[in-house]
Amino acid sequence: MSELKEILVIGGTGAQGTPVVYALANSKRYRVRLLTCDPASARAQKLGALPNVTLIQGTQDNQKDLERAFKGVYGAWVNTDGFTIGEKAETFYGIRAYETARCEGVQHYVWAGTDYAVKVAGWKKEYHWGHNDAKGRVTNYILAQGQDGMKSSVITTGPYMDMLGDGMLQPIEQPDGSFLWANPAKDGKIPLIAVEEVGHYSLWLFDNLPESAGLDLLVATDIVSFADIVRTFTEVTGKKAAHKYLTFDEYFPLAEPYPNAPSNWAADPTTPRDESFMTFRENFTPWWRFWGEGKAAKRDLALLDRIHPNRIKSLEEWMRKAGYDGSARPVLKGLEDLKAKFGPGKS
């Protein structure tokens, strides 16, 4: 056990962090220190029961907790939850987490980033929203520090393919048994990532210094439009499906959790929200614009094939493997916690 390198995982109980914890713990090369607000939660308990995983209580938006969490570890995998803590806090704690890691002598830092949408789209404000741009800024900040001393790598993800069963990308079953995706996406191609694959890519980043030092690995499983999603769904399930384009004015009254909901409506309602916070509508308007117009940063699929030769290579392969049938399959811890608190109607 003592020969294993210890990795601090922040966000390890979440959709994206869970496969990373499994990949590291199962590798027999690393042990995991998992920071969680609630070590008693079902997800934390399940992960804490794995060999080579230790839970520590603390929050990602508390500097004392971060100092304690980074102390003595070899590496770190950090996915702050900007969706919950907000853009301003994610920018601050994203940078503070990196600085704390350097202060504590961490050797390899992996940051879980997302497309820096406003930059990729030419700095146009119509493409700025909170929970991607905070991560994008932090990615740029981290890579700008160079590789002397602590090594750093980034794994950049787009929307999870798994969201086809949870939240924004989920279709609605119609009375005739067909499935309808009704949303403001145009015909752009979206780089969806099967979230389980984040585990393999993250493990590769830790295993492959010096190649991974300074690398921003932009991952995707398949790059698809809603027309592709509909066609593939029908091929795989035999069920009829359609995509209906809605204007923002048509879409948001149907999609908002409640009128004028904040972007992080699932968080504690007493969370202080200053003017940096967007409403749900302000946040997801550029979200749909960016992904739905196919503005995402380019993915190097040949590199992904080399890193992960057995990766899931298509939406069709993922749908078959996951047994996807259009029904709800919870993936996000944040939404799961919300439903446990208030019942299924609230999200």
Contacts with ligand NAP, residue ranges (CB under 6 A):
11-17, 35-38, 41, 44, 59-61, 79, 81-85, 114, 131, 157, 159-160, 163, 332-334
Which token pair is 294? 């196919």
Query: Shortest approach of ligand NAP to residue 197 CB, angstroms?
Result: 12
- Give one DSSP letter per residue of 45-88, joined into a string: HHHHTSTTEEEEE--TT-HHHHHHHHTT-SEEEE---HHHH-HH
Q: Using the Cα atoms of residue 16, residue 19, residue 21 and residue 24 in order, give the sign of their dihedral.
A: negative
Contact 151, 109 (CB under 8 A): yes
**Which CB sits closer to ligand NAP, 76 or 247?**
76
**Which CB sits closer to ligand NAP, 41 or 152?**
41
Query: Shortest approach of ligand NAP to residue 163 CB, angstroms?
Result: 5
| Dist. CA 249–CA 340, nearest whole Å | 30
| Dist. CA 21–CA 229, nearest whole Å | 30
Q: Is-cis flag, bond preceding 210, omega within 30? A: yes
**Which CB sits closer to ligand NAP, 230 or 332?**
332
- For residue 108, the surrounding DSSP H or E stretch is strand 108-114
**Which CB sits closer to ligand NAP, 158 or 326?**
158
**Which CB sits closer to ligand NAP, 35 or 307?**
35
| Dist. CA 20–CA 281, nearest whole Å | 31
Query: Shortest approach of ligand NAP to residue 196 CB, angstroms?
Result: 12
| Dist. CA 5–CA 41, nearest whole Å | 26
- Give one DSSP letter per residue of 23-36, joined into a string: HHHHHTSEEEEEEE
Query: Shortest approach of ligand NAP to residue 44 CB, angstroms?
Result: 6
**Which CB sits closer to ligand NAP, 80 or 152?**
80
Check residue 246 and report its DSSP letter: -
Query: Shortest approach of ligand NAP to residue 201 CB, angstroms?
Result: 13
Straight-line distance from the first to the last Cα atom of the chain, in angstroms, rounded to the nearest whole number? 42
- Our separate counts of H helices and E strands in the chain read 14, 12
**Which CB sits closer to ligand NAP, 28 or 346?**
346
